[in-house]
Amino acid sequence: MLEDVLRLVHVLGATVLFGTGIGIAFFMVMAVKTRDPRIIAHVAGIVVIADTVFTATAVVLQPLTGYGLARVIGWPLDNGWILLSLTLYVVIGLFWLPVVWIQIRLRDMARHAAAEATALPAGFDRLYRIWFAFGFPAFFAVVAIFWLMLTKPSIAPFGLD
């Protein structure tokens, strides 16, 4: 029973991370394409809330449920696929944390432009390009983790035997 609950919460957490990430990216890209500061400010505000409520919660739950699941099932935590998954999880975090800060800055810049009825400032596009670029390694790392979790390949822990 405990294994089933942990597995369910772990899969739901992974789904929330992946789905929220894709959804945030889609809506942010669509909003920025309008070049309308009011639309961008509104969407970016929702994106920041979604990242705070959904992504941050799942980010905390994933390692906890993963650890619990490994203990209940009896998987050694030094399994290569587990270590690689954890490494990729850290990589994702290294891209996600700046993205959260960038989203807040983009939201604030768009709010200011909307309030002043001006165009988006020049720094907006540079930050947006960084935000966009950071999504790709994080996305592919999440896909790789899904693959590792589903296939559990035999991988020597970082070349160690």
pLDDT score recorded for residue 158: 60
pTM of the model: 0.89
| pLDDT reported for residue 159 | 56
Q: Which residue, 113, 110, 101, 100, is CA-closest to 42?
A: 110
Tell me what the mean pLDDT of segment 52-78 comes to: 94
For position 42, what pLDDT does the model report? 98
pLDDT at position 156 is 81
Per-residue pLDDT for 29 more than 70?
yes
Is there a contact between 155 and 81 (Cβ–Cβ < 8 Å)?
Answer: yes
- Average pLDDT across the chain, whole number: 94
Long-range contacts of 58-65 (CB under 8 A, 24+ apart): 58/13, 58/14, 58/16, 58/17, 58/20, 59/17, 59/93, 59/96, 61/9, 61/10, 61/13, 62/10, 62/13, 62/14, 62/17, 62/89, 63/89, 65/6, 65/9, 65/10, 65/13
When computed from its CA atoms, the radius of gyration of the chain, rounded to whole angstroms, is 19
Residue 161 has pLDDT above 80, yes or no: no
Average pLDDT for residues 36-63, to the nearest whole number? 96
Q: Which band of pLDDT confidence, cut at 50, 70 and 90, is reported for residue 65? A: very high
